[in-house]
Structure 1
Amino acid sequence: MKKRAFLPLSLALSVSLATGVTSDKRVAAKEADPQSALQPIASSVVTIAHRGASGYAPEHTKAAYEMALQMKADFVELDLHMTKDGHLVAIHDSSLARTTNAEEVFPNRSPWLVKDFTLAEIKRLDAGSWFKKAYPEHAKKQYEGQKILTLEEAIHFIGKKNKHAKLYIETKAPDVYPGMEEKLVQILKKTGYLKKDKVMLQSFSEDSLKILQKIAPKDIPLIQLYSPGMLKGKNLKNELNKAAEYAEGVGPDKALVTPTFMQEAHRSHLLVHPYTVNTKEEMAEELSLGVDGMFTNFPDELLSLKKKPYISHGVASGEITSTSAVLWTRANKPSAILFEVAEDPSFKKSIKKIAGASRQHDFTAQVKVDRLHPDTTYYYRAAALPGSFSATGSFKTAPAENTEKPLTIVWGGDTGGQGNIPPFKSFSAMADLHPDFFLFSGDTIYADNPTPAVPNAPSKTMEDFWAKYKENRTDPNLRKLLQSTSTYAIWDDHEVSNDFSGPSNPLTSTGYKAFKDYWPIQKERSDSEKLYYKYSWGNTLDLIILNNRGYRDPNTKQDGPDKTMLGKEQLQWLKKELLHSDAKIKLVASSVPISTPTGKPNARDGWANGDHIDPNDKTGYEHEFKEISDFILKNKIKNVNFVTTDVHFADMIEYDPDHNGTVDYRELVSGPIGAVTIQPPKLDSTFGPKRLYAEGGFFNFGVLKADPKNGQMTVQIRDENGKIHYEGKFSIS
């Protein structure tokens, strides 16, 4: 077993020596947030120059190594193969074909494997000229004629250029090269690099690492590399626990790095160094997940990103009207955020706004942009000054008043519950439909469920609530959706705690503040914790957003004329908006269902009492919903659709509360995006529901398409891959 103790303090000693930092700093870094697994366990995030600065110069050549050192990378990576006559050489591929002119010099020796050539033969090859054709933007004359280096030559060159340089060496295909581990250790010892603060050794081969474990000093850090295929179908926790027996860390393909991966790796006290991270967007994503370092072809890009404030969790737009939008982003530290908005992606003529990202709001920032044109696509970007990295997005403004335009929206909720955490495939499928906006219908986080961000749930502090939002924003699929369209976000119970009633829950204000910090919300909706508002998309659709949490009486209270979910003021507002709406579609966003009994016995959480479950349990909110229902019927308000999630299955319901054979309103239900899946139960019959479709047991989202010209509304339920499970067409004439 490796002499890397299993306690955090012992890990601190070994890791700090490997990365050149003190154990005191390492411990301080770990104790900064003892809850979250989504933070480095090392005291600093290291930059590993992948094959040297291989984005700028031919990989594994003197030019690439020297450039990596000039850029002050923490480590220079070397890949090793062995020649026919037993020399270790620095090259990534097992074949010479891609990065040399071997085919030209030795035309009859296909497939030009390193193991089939002597060192003298390999030294005849040009290992630099190929770069001009592959990367012409970075090509230089001096790259032509670069040579493949032996391990000793590479070490001497790197050490001569910088005596403090550290190496990160991989044994490639060790099963092809028996004895390469012994040769590697001999050369490192001979050159003075067989020291814990000079080298880290890595391999995809567990066997190779275990050989190195036996023959190298016990304090030399070993790193187990993983491709996606190596972990497919395996128990992640078991695999990482096994790696922890001999390795100090893991080097996963960047696609493997998720909150779950980070949690299991850091629980096993393993460093996480993903490969190969080459764009600033990807670098910011990996940093948001709490990696301890990363391999990159562009070490200067990572180093410059880390030195200055940067946008850490993407951007979002929301609360769209025909002339305004709210823009959101988050930086990694205090900074001034520059927002730019333009009608063209080049930003030649842009609106500029500055907002401060402060610790008080977890470094999130929002601005409202006015005087926009209706029915227009806008591009925007945000940068944390003085940093130069920008995160970009786009949105479309609502049509002008009294106009009717086709419209596509997506909706869903229930994200991050019961162990279902990022990534969420549904968000990518939503983005692929290019919707006009996304309605996030509640349970945008599960503050009361344990996840890597808050393992010791429920969330209690503001930092816990913020951590939950950041965790979901590590999902590239969610960022893809948020950056491609606008969002209207509503809260439900899990933004605070299960089935909470706002006025009586001591965490309401904390959950509300975190919700407001992490979603683009207009002051008109957020002031005084209001959260209800109406948005119009011309005369096609009025989106009426309810606040089903902030004003409600306790769920345990007996239903009756004096029990409220919405509060008197919001209820009267809802009636007024329904009555005055001349839109083809009235879409009422309610975070709880009408006829599916939710909550607990004698503490119903939705509108329904659930008479069919227990006729003596009168703890729903049916009196209040009956007032809404009667108002719709009395005033003959047409095309009212209540849209919700919350119940963790899909449902399409038509209502005929007066039993006259006419559909008076509908309920459109989707979900979950990422939470436990449930089978549809029997509906409460109070308001005359008729099921058109119901399906559970799968992740799903809803799509609504309005075609006012043809007087038609189409509603779909799609699974996380975008496949349609239900489609209904309804008249909106």
Structure 2
Amino acid sequence: MGLKRLLLSISFLVFVYIACAQTESENVYFTTGFKIGEVSNSSAIIWTRLCADSIPVPIHHQQKEKTFRPPINFNNNAPVDEMDGAVRGTFGEVKIELFSAKDTISIDWAFVSALKDYTYKRKVENLKPNTFYNIKLTGRKGAEFSETVVYGSFFTAPDPNDIEPVLFTSSTCQLFWSYDDPKRGFKIYDEMKKLKPKFHSQTGDYVYYDKPGPFVKTIEMARHKWHAMNSWPSLKEFYMQTPLYIEKDDHDLLRDDAYPGRAPLGEVTFEDGLALWYEQTPIGKKPYRTQRWGKDLQVWFVEVREFRSDNTIEDSAEKTIWGKAQIQWFKETIEASDATFKVLISPTPIVGPDRPTGKNDNHSNKAFQTEGAWLRSYLAENKVFVVNGDRHWQYASVDSISGLREFSQGAVSDFHAGGWEESNVLPQHKFLRVKGGFLATKVYRKRDKPFIEFLHYDVDGNIVHKETFKE
């Protein structure tokens, strides 16, 4: 009798396993959501990934209670599909539909491929300026299979002569294991969503290849970092209704202080890191670009890793972070702009101050003093504000020579903050806080006079600092 029950139990489990496998094989999921990138007044790039799992692998490791909160006893050699936050991809096809009050755009089915990690990226054109669009993504294995649907929404940018208020948010430096909400991920995303930003700028270090949980050794592990991060509910929901302009820095490209020619990370080369970044983000072919958001705002997004010199060589007029082509493009577009306010969004600091020792890879360091001094002077002369990433503390600073103003967002959580002593207030600092949070930038008119406002928020959505400037 006991044997019979055992055999029945085994048969039942086998049946359940087969049934689940068959069910899984017939469905696709948008477990990591989708992103709306590079929004202009007439186009947007839609990015998504078809998933085999409806939910990610649950977190099953505890963390050390310290900065960066690495997981305890993490097996870096475990199968990637079993790691915390893992989401397998799957073959299938995607269809896009966009709806406005007066317009409908439909893009027919297109298959995804294992070669590109089952990701899908498509530029949608012929959109109307300053228009609210609902977006519907449908996925399926094929024409004979059931469909899965997800929804989102966004605004396109206004035309350059339109006077429209704009609020956008920006953030930086997010390690998966530094989450501050065990169910939703990072609290700042839910707080930013409440502000209903017209767009968001993520300024780099979206993931950390060179930190444990896993420490990346293969392309499969590198892709896993993106899957796990994108599956957090707070990120997933935010990006399905907030257009994104994303930049890369060192940790989401390869490793700390990355530059062309830097040694591989395990089997992942610098060139691999570049290919993966373009695969996993809603960006076009050029990493530096500018976008106008009405009459009063133009933003510039720059590239700081692809074209730079070796960090370790002696400083000179030839040593560069941006590269000659990007510098020429930047000067031409800045000088051609008639926007009321110009904002440069940089993955790394330009003013700082940065730590006096151990750092040599940004414009506020002595290693790039020549280009940094020129850039600070040029930006100040052209009345450009700087929003920067990379630093794990919040600050507002003014360069003592040029008068250039810079606003640092801080890391996404208090657990990820650090690198500076809050008591070490220098003359450049107008505000200093060694905690996590985000930045909101607000452009508006009052009695027909244009203003720009920079607001630092903590992780709970409280304003901790504000500076306002008029034309």
Return the TM-score normalized by structure 2: 0.80
| Pair 1:646 & 2:390 matched | yes
| Pair 1:500 & 2:244 matched | no
The 3 A distance-change label for structure 1 pair 647 and 720 is same
| Pair 1:707 & 2:444 matched | yes
| Pair 1:335 & 2:335 matched | no
Q: Contact 1:680–1:695 at 8 Å: present in 2 too?
A: no
Amino acid at match of 1:314: G
Whole-angstrom distance in 2 between the partners of 1:305 and 1:587:
47
Whole-angstrom distance in 1 between the partners of 2:339 and 2:210:
38
Amino acid at match of 1:408: L
Give matches, 1:512-527, under 5 Å.
Answer: 512-523=274-285, 525=286
What's the CA shift string for 1:293-324, capped at 9, x where partnerless?
A: 9xxxxx99x97565233333111101000000
Cα drift, residue 356 of structure 1: 2.8
Amino acid at match of 1:707: Y
SS where residue 137 of structure 2 aligns?
strand
Whole-angstrom distance in 2 between the partners of 1:376 and 1:303:
42
Amino acid at match of 1:645: G
| Pair 1:197 & 2:10 matched | yes
What's the CA shift string for 1:151-199, capped at 9, x where partnerless?
A: xxxxxxxxxxxxxxxxxxxxxxxxxxxxxxxxxxxxx979957964278
Whole-angstrom distance in 1 between the partners of 2:306 and 2:284:
17
**Pick aligned residue for 2:326 from 547, 564, 570:** 570
| Pair 1:553 & 2:309 matched | yes
**Pick aligned residue for 2:417 from 677, 681, 702:** 677
Whole-angstrom distance in 2 between the partners of 1:535 and 1:505:
34
**Pick aligned residue for 2:31 from 305, 308, 312:** 312
Q: Contact 1:415–1:672 at 8 Å: present in 2 too?
A: yes
Q: Higher helix fraction: Structure 1 or Structure 2?
A: 1
| Pair 1:373 & 2:128 matched | yes
Whole-angstrom distance in 2 between the partners of 1:501 and 1:368:
29
Amino acid at match of 1:702: L
Q: Contact 1:503–1:552 at 8 Å: present in 2 too?
A: no
**Pick aligned residue for 1:637 from 373, 382, 386:** 382
Q: Contact 1:414–1:673 at 8 Å: present in 2 too?
A: yes
Amino acid at match of 2:133: Y
Q: Contact 1:325–1:369 at 8 Å: present in 2 too?
A: yes
The 3 A distance-change label for structure 1 pair 433 and 191 is farther
Cα drift, residue 717 of structure 1: 1.2
The 3 A distance-change label for structure 1 pair 684 and 499 is farther
Whole-angstrom distance in 2 between the partners of 1:407 and 1:440:
17
Cα drift, residue 604 of structure 1: 0.5
Q: Contact 1:409–1:437 at 8 Å: present in 2 too?
A: yes
| Pair 1:468 & 2:208 matched | no
Cα drift, residue 411 of structure 1: 0.4
**Pick aligned residue for 1:403 from 162, 167, 173:** 162
Q: Could you list the structure 1 runs, at least 4 aligned residues long, displaced by more than 6 angstroms after superposition.
A: 188-191, 682-685
The answer for the alignment partner of 2:87 in structure 1 is none
**Pick aligned residue for 1:361 from 96, 112, 116:** 116
Give matches, 1:186-585, under 5 Å.
Answer: 192=5, 196-197=9-10, 306-332=25-51, 333-343=90-100, 349-385=104-140, 386=142, 387-416=146-175, 420=179, 423-451=185-213, 455=214, 457=215, 459-495=216-252, 496-506=254-264, 507-523=269-285, 525=286, 531-585=287-341
The 3 A distance-change label for structure 1 pair 574 and 682 is farther
Q: Contact 1:411–1:701 at 8 Å: present in 2 too?
A: yes
**Pick aligned residue for 1:588 from 344, 354, 373:** 344
The answer for the alignment partner of 1:628 in structure 2 is 375
The gaps in structure 1 that reach 5 residues or longer are 1-187, 201-291, 294-298, 526-530, 610-617, 659-663
Q: Contact 2:351–2:397 at 8 Å: present in 1 too?
A: no
What's the CA shift string for 1:513-562, capped at 9, x where partnerless?
A: 11111211123x2xxxxx11111112221111110111111211122212
Percent of aligned pairs sharing the same letter: 25
Whole-angstrom distance in 1 between the partners of 2:422 and 2:22:
58
Give matches, 1:165-204, under 5 Å.
Answer: 192=5, 196-197=9-10
The 3 A distance-change label for structure 1 pair 405 and 503 is farther
Q: Contact 1:597–1:683 at 8 Å: present in 2 too?
A: no
What's the CA shift string for 1:204-223, capped at 9, x where partnerless?
A: xxxxxxxxxxxxxxxxxxxx
Cα drift, residue 691 of structure 1: 1.8
Whole-angstrom distance in 1 between the partners of 2:295 and 2:371:
28
Cα drift, residue 729 of structure 1: 1.5
Q: Contact 1:326–1:521 at 8 Å: present in 2 too?
A: yes
Q: Contact 1:595–1:683 at 8 Å: present in 2 too?
A: no
SS where residue 311 of structure 1 aligns?
coil
Whole-angstrom distance in 2 between the partners of 1:413 and 1:665:
21
Amino acid at match of 1:473: N
Higher-Rg structure is: 1
The 3 A distance-change label for structure 1 pair 597 and 401 is closer
Return the TM-score normalized by structure 1: 0.53
